[in-house]
Homo-oligomer: A and B are copies of this chain.
Amino acid sequence: MPYDPSAFPPFAVTVDLVVLTVRSHALCALVVRRGEPPYQGRWALPGGFVRADEDLAAAAARELKEETGLRPHGPEGKDTGAHLEQLATYGDPYRDPRMRVVSVAHLVLSPDLPPPIAGGDARSARWSPAESLLGPGEGLSRDGDQPVQLAFDHAQILLDGVERARAKIEYSSLATAFCPPEFTVGELRRVYEAVWGVALDPRNFHRKVTGTPGFLVPTGGTTTRQGGRPAQLFRAGGATLLNPPMLRPEV
């Protein structure tokens, strides 16, 4: 460990955010349009520099607040707000053409936000379906008529974030982070279906989630906002690990 604090290569350190939500039965990611070069006009993940006296998680929370107005709840947080966790760090020497930038990516799972984006600064921002940002052909979904190609290595970061989310809802109760504070079993099932892109059997799903102790807590209320027979409302229970896990089909 040749620690010579006076002679080290200087790096810039940023945080980038993979902010995911479920909108109209599709997994969507928050992207912002870049106002300056490089990649001017291209869509990118929100992010920014870590300040000199700022922890990485604090920087991510600050950026999240600036972009969406959301406040994260940390591990075991009980308040309303989004789930935030560190994802991975990207440090290819040439990932930013201007200088050496190491980016610590974070993953945010949020309930659906009514406006496309509130808060934040003047740049345009929007939710885009993850599928259109990632698909084969590098996301040829239509935005007006232009293909979506994320700036920098953000396509890779987004892919890693989506894969993390897909894997984690399997063995944790994290899918509830996509739901409002009170939700029905059907709404939770539609989250799984959107994130995994599969159809799940409603009867077996119901049996699984209601039969796992500590996963769901009934609030007593009901709702018919999805139509049909009134459904019980639940809150996320204290259980954070799902054992046995929810199994992704097509194995």
A174 within 8 A of B: no
Report whether A99 and B48 are in contact in the complex, using a CB–CB cutoff of 8 Å: no
Q: How far is the CA of A91 from the CA of B57 in the complex (A)?
A: 9
Tell whether A5 pairs with B12 under 8 Å between CB atoms, given A86-B88, A93-B53: yes
Report whether A93 and B54 are in contact in the complex, using a CB–CB cutoff of 8 Å: yes
Q: How large is the interface on A (under 10, 10 to 19, 20 to 34, 35 or more residues)?
A: 35 or more
Report whether B51 and A5 are in contact in the complex, using a CB–CB cutoff of 8 Å: no
Contact partner, A56, options B32, B52, B91, Cβ 8 Å: B91
**Chain B residues closer than 8 Å to A91, beta-carbon distance:** 13, 50, 55-56, 104
Contact flags A39-56 to B (C-beta < 8 A → 1, else 0)? 000001011111111111
Report whether A1 and B54 are in contact in the complex, using a CB–CB cutoff of 8 Å: no
A185 within 8 A of B: no
* Main DSSP-derived SS at the A contact region: loop
**Chain B residues closer than 8 Å to A34, beta-carbon distance:** 1
CB-contacts of A84-115 with B (<8 A): 86, 88-93, 98-100, 102, 104
User: Closest CB-CB distance, A104 to chain B, in whole Å?
Assistant: 5
Report whether B52 and A100 are in contact in the complex, using a CB–CB cutoff of 8 Å: yes
Report whether A92 and B55 are in contact in the complex, using a CB–CB cutoff of 8 Å: yes
For the complex with contacts A5-B99, A56-B102, A86-B89, 8 further pairs of A-B residues with Cβ separation under 8 Å are A1-B32, A1-B34, A1-B48, A9-B49, A9-B50, A11-B11, A11-B50, A54-B93
Residues of A near any B CB (own CB < 8 A)? 1-3, 5, 8-13, 32, 34, 36, 44, 46-56, 86, 88-93, 98-100, 102, 104, 123, 243, 251
